[in-house]
Amino acid sequence: MTADVETPARVEHNVSGGKPAGARSRMSRLGRPALILAACAVLAGGGYYAWRTWFAAGDPANTVLTAPVTRGNLEDTVTATGTLQPKDYVDVGTQVSGQLKKLLVDVGAVVKAKDLLAEIDPSVYQAKVDGDQAQLLNQQAQLADKQAQLALAELQLTRQQNLTREEATTADALQIAEAARKSALAQRNSIEAQIQQTASTLRGDEANLGYTKIYAPMAGTVVSQAAKQGQTLNANQQAPIIMRIADLSTMTVEAQVSEADVPKLHVGMDVYFTTLGGDNRRFYGKLRQIPPTPTVVNNVVLYDALFDVPNPDRILMTQMTAQVFFVASSAKDAVLVPLTALRPVAAEGRTRGPRASGADPRNQFANGRALVSVVDAAGKVADREVKVGVMNRVSAQILAGLEPGEKVVIGTKAPAAAAPAQSGSSLVSTAAQGGRRP
């Protein structure tokens, strides 16, 4: 009878990883579906890339930027910056020197013509007037004396003339009487001249005395004061300014326009402006004047363009900053497209050269003709010639050739950056690891 000998079981080990063969078999079964999924993903990505490259890129509607044709208002304007000044104003000064004794109005006061504004100390001028009047009285008294002497000399001359006819006097006595009469007449005339001179001086001193009271030369508002009460004013070299009175019912805008834009302006054109903090409220007027003398600021030549605006509610104030828009042309309820949608129509027999650097692109359409690319409902792009009207630097009016709602090409799309493709081997490796990356 043979005894059964128990044989030890053999255990297989994975040579490469030290794992049992059963474990290796299980992983192999799990990896096959992942490999299949990874291969499908690679094929799908390649197919999408090929479609984008060969089919979608060939559709013009997918490679251009478009904008709709709209309807609205359009203005072609020249812009400038300006300041506001009263149209009518006067700087009130003094014609005499002295201490400003009284200042009767403040800034913002509304005055009428001939209202008393200020007074200068009149003491010196009153004294001059009093002296002139006293001198005039003295000279008038002297004149009375000289007239009496002249009357006596004339009587003596008459007596000598009568005696001479009767030969009762000498020729020498007659000559003395004639000389005395002439002397008395000259002295009287001299005193009369002195009286006239003194009277003239008196009138001047009385005028200066009157100038010590300063009256409003016009009705308006006191917008500034340059002198204080008690200040001494010297009018010997120039008239000191005490205050400015302005009529604020009409304001003048002084806009500074560059020399490149001045040729676009003309007297009578429409213009409007807005102010800082004015809630975009527009104030309208007509261009009144372009003075021929420019102002040069940092080597930039600027011309003043003046226009007036009514200011009945006194909203506009002196020295306000205005953003000015001169309306060169305008269109209401017009068919509009972006300016970038327009292309020049090439002249026959010539190719269109590059546009000069810095040139206004609107100059290319000065003849009123342009080309646009229109995208139809099927996505097809076709060129069409249109008639152009008013243009600014953003939009253009289309007089003929387009209707609102159509789409026009305004540019091309930038190619999208391709996402970095994941290699098939890496996808397979990731899937083989159960979707986990190391």
pLDDT of 130: 96
pLDDT of 224: 92
Q: Is residue 296 part of a domain?
A: yes
Pair (207, 253) in one structural domain? no
pLDDT of 349: 42
Digitized pLDDT (tens) for each residue of the chain, 438 residues in all: 444 444 444 434 443 444 455 545 554 555 566 566 666 666 666 655 554 555 544 555 568 899 999 999 999 999 999 999 999 999 999 999 999 999 999 999 999 999 999 999 999 999 999 999 999 999 999 999 999 999 999 999 999 999 999 988 899 999 999 999 999 999 999 999 999 999 999 999 999 999 999 999 999 999 999 999 999 998 887 789 999 999 999 999 999 999 999 999 999 999 999 998 878 899 999 999 999 999 999 999 999 999 999 999 999 999 999 999 999 999 999 999 999 999 998 765 444 544 544 567 888 898 999 999 999 988 899 999 999 999 999 999 999 999 999 999 999 886 655 445 444 444 334 433 444 443
- Domain CATH number, residue 308: 2.40.30.170
Q: Is residue 93 part of a domain?
A: no
Task: List Cα–Cα distances, 358 to 150, 361, 363, 369, in angstroms.
Answer: 95, 9, 11, 22
Classify residue 178 by burial, with Cβ atoms within 10 Å: 0-12, 13-18, 19+: middle
332, 357, 392: which is the final residue of a domain?
A: 332
Q: Is residue 29 part of a domain?
A: yes
Which residues touch 134 (CB under 8 Å, ≥6 apart)? none
Q: Which domain holds residue 206?
A: 122-211
- The total of other beta-carbon atoms located within 10 Å of residue 398's CB is 24
pLDDT of 29: 54
Distance, in Å, from the CA atom of 200 to the CA atom of 65, rounded to the nearest integer, reads 89
Pair (185, 250) in one structural domain? no
- The total of other beta-carbon atoms located within 10 Å of residue 255's CB is 26
332, 358, 383: which is the final residue of a domain?
A: 332
Cα 154 off chain centre by: 83
Pair (266, 323) in one structural domain? yes
Q: Is residue 387 part of a domain?
A: no
**What are 81's two structure tokens?**
């910056």
pLDDT of 212: 95
Number of domains in the chain: 3
The answer to whether the beta carbons of residues 152 and 184 sit under 8 Å apart is: yes
pLDDT of 429: 40
The answer to whether the beta carbons of residues 132 and 201 sit under 8 Å apart is: yes
6, 28, 58: which is the final residue of a domain?
A: 58
**Structural element, H or E, at residue 112:** none
Q: Is residue 195 part of a domain?
A: yes
Pair (189, 257) in one structural domain? no
